[in-house]
């Protein structure tokens, strides 16, 4: 699978940008009404993010129960305590990804309670989520849908190759930049601090499959995607492949779910992901 060129910046700061006092800008927007807000400047787009609450404890209880029920480590919840701890985790991880040449928003200034980052899009241009971009590509046919999907999978492979793992490797947390490079957003938790690396990598793969397989199916691209998926799986370290194999085996029961729209889109997503995952040599 060819590597995407991520060396070029997504938004080249101008002389005017360089003169911006980002710390002063951040301090002036600490009382914004929402935890994250977008600001359009004349020369760039900024986001200010304040500390907020974490996920409800009930969510963790449910995930832990599912992990025990299916004996699947990849379902173990990753703590997101919220507040300043999650905020500082996100700042640290964004800077780590950036330092390794991966495409993420650039952190420009921080306080204990908030930070300001640069938008992944160029001025005047949107940077859609990969989820929206893939869904929009469905009407154009199997090949455009498949190509976008492959870019997301390759971006995950590159993150793993750099020693990083994602927080939630779903397509909505990935961004299609104007130069075609896939960027990453949303790093409020750090799975590698709580789970083995092999589990984190398998978790990323499963999250991506679950969030995109239905789009592939709707575009008629699921069959060619299987070969790409097989190649990706074979490039995973042996321990991560084993975790993935065990998880797929334990979730084999989903094949018996009725393929009915009346059961909701989430069920259809799971079934489509099963069709993609069970095509790999791991479960053959």
Q: In what order do the strands lie in the sheet with 114-118?
A: 36-40, 45-50, 114-118, 107-110
Locate tokens 């998926």: which residue?
A: 229
Q: How many CB atoms lie within 10 A of CB 17?
A: 18
Q: Is 69 exposed, middle or buried (0-12, 13-18, 19+ CB in 10 A)?
A: exposed
Q: Residue 2: its pLDDT value, please?
A: 47
Residues in the chain: 284
Give the Cα separation of 182 and 172 in Å (integer): 11
- The candidate with the shortest Cα–Cα distance to 57, out of 73, 80, 37, is 80
Q: Residue 219 belongs to what H/E stretch? A: helix 197-219
Q: Residue 121: its pLDDT value, please?
A: 82
Both tokens of residue 142? Answer: 């199997």
- The candidate with the shortest Cα–Cα distance to 130, out of 185, 89, 86, 55, is 185
Q: Residue 280: its pLDDT value, please?
A: 47
Global pTM value: 0.85
Give the Cα separation of 132 and 181 in Å (integer): 15
| Relative orientation angle of helices 197-219 and 238-250, to the nearest 10 degrees | 60
DSSP bridge pairs for 40? 45
Coil/strand/helix, residue 255: helix
Mean pLDDT score across all residues of the chain: 84
Q: Residue 71: its pLDDT value, please?
A: 56
Q: Residue 204: its pLDDT value, please?
A: 93
Coil/strand/helix, residue 62: helix
Coil/strand/helix, residue 102: coil
| Positions of the chain with pLDDT under 70 | 1-18, 53-77, 256, 258, 260-264, 279-284
Q: Residue 163: its pLDDT value, please?
A: 96
Q: Residue 62: its pLDDT value, please?
A: 42
262 contact partners, CB below 8 Å, separation of at least 6: none
Both tokens of residue 67? Answer: 């992990």
Q: Residue 78: its pLDDT value, please?
A: 73
Both tokens of residue 192? Answer: 């590698």
């Amino acid at each position: 699978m060819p590597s995407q060129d991520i060396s070029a910046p997504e938004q080249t700061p101008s002389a005017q940008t360089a003169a911006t006092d980002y710390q002063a800008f951040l301090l002036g927007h600490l009382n914004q009404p929402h935890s994250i807000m977008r600001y359009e400047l004349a020369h760039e787009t900024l986001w200010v993010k304040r500390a907020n609450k974490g996920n409800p404890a009930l969510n963790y209880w449910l995930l832990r129960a599912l992990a025990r029920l299916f004996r699947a480590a990849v379902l173990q919840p990753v703590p997101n305590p919220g507040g300043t701890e999650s905020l500082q985790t996100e700042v640290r991880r964004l800077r780590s990804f950036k330092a390794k040449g991966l495409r993420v928003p650039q952190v420009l200034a921080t306080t204990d309670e908030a930070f300001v980052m640069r938008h992944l899009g160029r001025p005047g241009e949107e940077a859609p989520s990969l989820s929206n971009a893939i869904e929009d590509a469905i009407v154009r046919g199997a090949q455009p849908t498949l190509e976008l999907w492959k870019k997301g999978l390759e971006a995950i492979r590159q993150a793993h190759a750099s020693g990083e793992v994602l927080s939630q490797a779903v397509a909505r947390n990935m961004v299609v930049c104007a130069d075609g490079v896939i960027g990453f957003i949303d790093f409020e938790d750090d799975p590698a601090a709580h789970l083995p690396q092999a589990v984190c990598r398998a978790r990323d793969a499963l999250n991506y499959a679950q969030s995109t397989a239905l789009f592939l199916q709707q575009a008629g691209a699921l069959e060619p995607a299987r070969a790409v998926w097989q190649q990706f799986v074979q490039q995973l370290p042996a321990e991560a492949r084993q975790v993935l194999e065990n998880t797929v085996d334990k979730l084999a029961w989903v094949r018996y779910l009725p393929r009915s729209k009346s059961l909701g889109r989430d069920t259809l997503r799971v079934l489509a992901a099963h069709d993609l995952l069970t095509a790999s040599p791991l479960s053959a």
